[in-house]
Structure 1
Amino acid sequence: MTRHVLTTIPLPPALRDGIARHYHLHESASDFGDGAPADVEAVVTNGSIGLSAAQMDRLPRLRVICSMGAGTENIDIAGAHARGIVVTNAPGANAATVADHAIGLALAVARGLRSLGNRLARGEAWASLRAPRASLNKSRVGIIGLGQIGRMVAERAAACGADIGYHNPSPKPGAPGTYYADPLELARNSDFLFACCPGGPRTRHLLNREMFQALGPGGVVVNVARGSVLKTDDLLEALRAGQLAGAGLDVLEEEPEPPAALLAELTGMDNVVLTPHISGRSPAAILVQLDMMLESLEDGLAGRPPRYAVRPSAPA
């Protein structure tokens, strides 16, 4: 029996081909309208694009929703549960890759790995560019969100000789560094501030004008969480005014098609390093995601409880 799977997001070739070897894969834009095949039994999406209850209702045979990563913030999990649809994710599959990328962004901004090469290419004098630059060694690193990614960022930063602080809804047993109940207090005590938290309403615009002022003109902010976590207008204001040393951004509030003017301004700043939401993409991470997704699809379509099922949250 042929099983039909619909993806609402662009998939890396290895992931797409891996799913297509086992299922009839339909590829579609995020808003698939009324043209979705009626025999689709599973949807592959991610936390950023998600899947609404209205979209679920257009798929009468839908039984499984698989999020490609750990995030599920824009999937209506309660709506899926009410319809008897299983939601799964891939917790931790790409955590190490995201943590590597986060450290890379921080160093690229602080050490000028992009800007110095460009300035040399423009003919600026070698000697004029050799001013000392900040590094992770002997720095204070603040981490917002101490899940798997946050812990791995902490491990990598500590290995570079940084002091670690973190903010989380509550202290984590055995966590490295100092716990800050107030994120503003964490920012005041950080040179580098990493966002590694989930997206969604609770963290929307957590990185804002107040946080940037608390971090200060020597501070570097790195966002590998969700674009919604950082208030873009406030970041631009801080960067224009010299109130931050720089920013490393793998995610933006409007993706995958950010406003052209925003991209032009960010990419024109020597103290900003921008990547197109690729922090979790490595060959190794994609293979792990594929294995987890195929297991979830097989179990969910067979009526077995998937190991990586996501339950609806309790009311706040």
Structure 2
Amino acid sequence: MTRPDVLVAAPLPPVTMAALDDAFVVHRLWEGVADDVLSRVRGMAASTLAGPVRDDLFARLPALEVIANFGVGYDNIDMVAAVARGLVVTNTAGVLDEEVADLTIGLLLATLRRIPAAERFLRDGLWRDGNFPLSPSLRGRRVGIIGLGGIGKAIARRLDGFAVDIAYHGRTRQGDVGYPWYPSVEALAGACDVLIAIVPGGASTRHLVDARVLAALGPQGVLINVSRGTVVDEAALIAALQAGTILASGLDVFEREHDVPEALLALDNVVLLPHIGSASAITRQAMGRLMVDNLVAWFETGRPLTPVPETRIMPSS
């Protein structure tokens, strides 16, 4: 059987690249690929690391059938164009839920208990002169989760062990979930003093957390964002942190990745991480394996393992 031609949009972990090379005829976009080769490409391995995957690239790939994305979020892909062209799109849903949930709880505790600041206090020799100031606490708080999908539920399971009240917002109420549901993010913020954002990126969720939501969260409120930077109005968040509109924030994502505003860096009531939610060796390997398995399943059976909701499944040619 002839191995399908697959285009890789940006470098992936070595173990994932090796698995792709084993299964397919792989072409690396960053090395330059001739148009006659692109015309044979039937599959693509994409990731947020590659930047936007848009219709102008699809137009150069007339035989393209499937895009397997490295990550659960796929706002890097122009889904309107992909659906219009009948392309199948997959993600790595499920395999990173527990890792991201672990990181979320760590970021929440680091933000509330000011763990990074406490370590700096010790390293700077200040403990010799007195104790570190008392911090806020998770005790007695009500936590609102924006987006109760697989990762949101994994976060909620962990929070259950902390004996805190939990509520959530999503597009619809989930009948099999016992937590209170709020019809808007602003209403959820008004009922809680911790907000955790774990929703997909894209136009529909852009600035879902804005100045009104932050005002509703209040002066003891804490915002944790482990979804996409575009979900939060970053300028409004900076203003809220500077003015004391909210107490603190923990961020693993930013509106412009790798370009964190100086105003955020200057604040001592934020904990900032370089988008490491799923960034453990074991989880990245599992993500890569699922990405490859989606491509293999498509070409062997015409049925990918984890298609995204927008995609239309059609028989493989």
TM-score, normalised on structure 2? 0.87
- Partner residue of 1:234? 236
Contact 2:229 2:254 in 1 (8 A): yes
Per-residue CA deviations over 1:224-247 (Å, capped at 9, x if unaligned) read: 111110111111111122222221
Q: Does 1:297 align with 2:295?
A: yes
Counterpart-to-counterpart distance in 2, 1:3 and 1:108: 47
| Structure 1 match to 2:263 | 265
Aligned counterparts of 1:117 and 1:247: Cα–Cα separation in 2? 18
Q: Deviations over 1:19-42 (max 9, x none)?
A: 23323444445xx89879524332
The farther-off stretch of 145-154 and 14-23 is 14-23
Note the 1:43-58 alignment, pairs <5 A.
Answer: 43-46=44-47, 49-58=51-60
Distance in 1 of aligned mates of 2:294 and 2:45: 11
Q: Is the 8 A contact 2:185 2:209 kept in 1?
A: no
1:101-112 aligned within 5 A = 101-112=103-114
Q: Residues 65 and 87 of structure 2 are in contact (CA less than 8 Å); yes or no, is this contact kept in structure 1?
A: yes
Please give the residue correspondences for 1:1-316 in structure 2 after superposition, counting only pairs within 5 Å.
1-28=2-29, 37-38=37-38, 39-46=40-47, 49-125=51-127, 128-255=130-257, 257-258=258-259, 262=261, 264-302=262-300, 304-312=302-310
The DSSP-based 3-state class of the residue aligned with 1:114 is: helix
In 2, Cα distance between equivalents of 1:107 and 1:232: 22
Q: Following the alignment from structure 2 to structure 1, what is the Cα–Cα distance between the partners of residues 53 and 267?
A: 35
What is the TM-score with the length of structure 1 in the denominator? 0.87
What is the CA-CA distance between 1:14 and the residue it aligns to? 3.0
**Distance (whole Å) between structure 1 residues aligned to residue 29 and residue 138 of structure 2:** 42
Counterpart residue type for residue 23 of structure 1: F
Q: Which moved more, 1:79-88 or 1:90-99?
A: 79-88
- Equivalent pair of 1:90/1:308 in contact (CA under 8 Å): yes
Instruction: Give structure 1 regions of 4+ aligned residues with deviation exceeding 4 angstroms.
Output: 32-37, 125-129
Please give the alpha-carbon distance, in whole angstroms, between the structure 1 residues aligned to 2:62 and 2:52. 18
The letter for the 1-side match of 2:190 is R
Unaligned 5+ residue runs, structure 1?
Answer: none
Whether the aligned pair in 2 keeps the contact of 1:14 and 1:286 (CA below 8 Å) is no
Query: Percent identity between the aligned chains?
Result: 34
Q: Hey, what's the Cα distance between the residues in 1 that align with 2:151 and 2:34?
A: 37
Describe the shift of the 1:293–1:108 C-alpha distance in structure 2 as closer, same or farther (beyond 3 A).
same
Q: Which amino acid aligns with 1:274?
A: L
1:151 Cα deviation (Å)? Answer: 0.9
Query: How big is the shift at 1:105?
Result: 0.7
Residue aligned with 1:164, SS: strand
5+ residue gaps, structure 2, are: 313-317
Q: Give 1:171 deviation, angstroms.
A: 1.0
The SS at the match of 2:71 is: coil
Offset of 1:303 from its aligned partner? 5.8
| Matched AA of 1:286 | R
Report how far residue 77 of structure 1 moved.
3.2
Distance 1:128 1:140 in 2: 32
AA aligned opposite 2:72: A
Aligned length: 309
Contact 1:154–1:176 (8 Å) recurs in 2: no
For residues 279-302 of structure 1, the C-alpha deviation after alignment (integer angstroms, 9 at most, x for no partner) is 022233223323322221112234
